[in-house]
């Protein structure tokens, strides 16, 4: 049974993370992932479920959020430099 098939309660208890930590991390994860292909067409309920599951499975972490933010900022700066030279 995959994480997507398991009840969320089972994943939560197996993770050992606190509910406030999971909630905060899921919200931050949604902020950085909401426009990505696997997330942008989801309803709010689906988006929240996916984010919480990503947090509980370890796919989402503060380190990964920082990494994504840095990549997006670098891409934005590169695009601005490209537009400035044109």
In this prediction, residue 60 has a pLDDT band, given cuts at 50, 70 and 90, of very high
Q: Where are the domains of the chain?
A: 8-85
Rounded to whole angstroms, the Cα distance separating 28 from 60 reads: 9
Percent of the chain beyond pLDDT 90?
A: 49
Query: How confident is the model over 48-63, as a mean pLDDT?
Result: 91
Tokens, residue 13: 């208890």
pLDDT digits (tens, 9 = 90+) for 20-36: 999 999 999 999 998 88
Model confidence, pTM: 0.77
Q: Which two tokens stand for residue 65?
A: 């959020």
What is residue 10's predicted lDDT score, i.e. its pLDDT?
A: 82
The CA–CA distances, whole Å, from 85 to 16, 33, 46, 79 equal 51, 30, 41, 10
* Average pLDDT score, the chain: 87
pLDDT of residue 37: 86
pLDDT at 2: 65
Give the pLDDT mean for 57-69: 92
* Chain-centroid distance, C-alpha 52: 9
């Amino acid at each position: 049974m995959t994480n997507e098939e398991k009840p969320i309660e089972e994943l939560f208890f197996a993770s050992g993370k606190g509910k406030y930590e999971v909630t905060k991390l899921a919200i931050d994860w949604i902020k950085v992932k909401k426009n990505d292909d696997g997330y942008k067409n989801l309803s709010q309920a689906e988006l929240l479920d996916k984010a919480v599951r990503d947090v509980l499975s370890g796919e989402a972490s503060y380190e990964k959020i920082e990494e994504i933010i840095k990549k997006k900022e670098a891409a934005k700066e590169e695009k601005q430099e490209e537009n400035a030279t044109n």
